[in-house]
Amino acid sequence: EAQVTQNPRYLITVTGKKLTVTCSQNMNHEYMSWYRQDPGLGLRQIYYSMNVEVTDKGDVPEGYKVSRKEKRNFPLILESPSPNQTSLYFCASSFRQPFQETQYFGPGTRLLVL
């Protein structure tokens, strides 16, 4: 089944404790992206990747890191989480840059930073 998976789905952590949220897709998509969703603000792009070893900042990259060593995986790293990073995070992928392509979203990761 074609899908985007994220782990963990729910996470409670404390300020400053490094964490990684994994994202994997099995559709051989080139483009992958991370978003955060906050009430009243909609989806905001954190980082995106056009292909392996190519990553770029989105609208809200501060406090986040990403890597794209393999085509299927695009982990999101919070080196020192802070309470303002409490949010719902979505990973998404598309075959190429989403000029003409639909994006497939993962199920989401709900993060609470205390």
Partner 1 sequence: GQQVMQIPQYQHVQEGEDFTTYCNSSTTLSNIQWYKQRPGGHPVFLIQLVKSGEVKKQKRLTFQFGEAKKNSSLHITATQTTDVGTYFCVGISDRGSTLGRLYFGRGTQLTVWP
- Measured between alpha carbons, how far is 46 from 76 in angstroms, rounded to an integer? 9
x/- binding map, residues 93-112, to partner 1, per CB under 8 A?
----xxxx-xxxxxxx----
Please answer whether residues 102 and 92 qualify as being in contact, where contact means their C-beta atoms are separated by less than 8 angstroms: no
Q: Does 45 bind partner 1 (CB under 8 A)?
A: yes
Give the residue with the Cβ less far from partner 1, 42 or 62. Answer: 42
Are the beta carbons of 80 and 92 closer than 8 angstroms? no
62 binds partner 1 (CB under 8 A): no
26 binds partner 1 per the rule CB under 8 A: no
Q: Does 5 bind partner 1 (CB under 8 A)?
A: no
Residue type, 35: Y
Query: Between 74 and 90, whose beta carbon lies closer to partner 1?
Result: 90
Give the integer Cα–Cα distance in Å for 70 and 47: 16
86 binds partner 1 (CB under 8 A): no
Determine if 10 is a binding residue for partner 1 (CB under 8 A). Answer: no
CA 19 to chain CA mean position, Å: 13
Distance of CA 66 to the CA centre of its chain: 8
Q: Give the binding site for partner 1 (CB under 8 A).
A: 40-45, 90, 92, 97-100, 102-108
